Amino acid sequence: MPPGTRTSLYNNPSYQKAASAFANITLQSINGTDPEHPTVGKVPYVGIQYVDIPQFASLGLTVGQQIAGAIAGTESVSQALQAAQSAASAYTTAANCPAAN
């Protein structure tokens, strides 16, 4: 499980021991996040980099694979971004997100 993905992970003594170098600061960061004030300065939006749909982790993986392909040279940056955007649109449509409709 990647760090920062679930606060419940930090209740696991085995994880706390294995991740002792960064677990405390990661949990503090999770708990200290304020979606109403997401940046140091004023911005015209609210929210943090998290989308409350079950497909979010899968979308992150898909986009990451596209970016990795561009870095590896198996596709162009333009192709990777187009494929990532298509995947994001499909996920948000499937999740019935307002921005997709």
List pLDDT tens digits, range 6-33: 778 888 899 889 989 988 898 888 888 8
Closest CA to 99 of 85, 84, 78: 85
**Whole-prediction pTM:** 0.51
Task: Label residue 65 by pLDDT band (50, 70, 90).
Answer: very high
Distance CA 38, CA 66 (A): 27
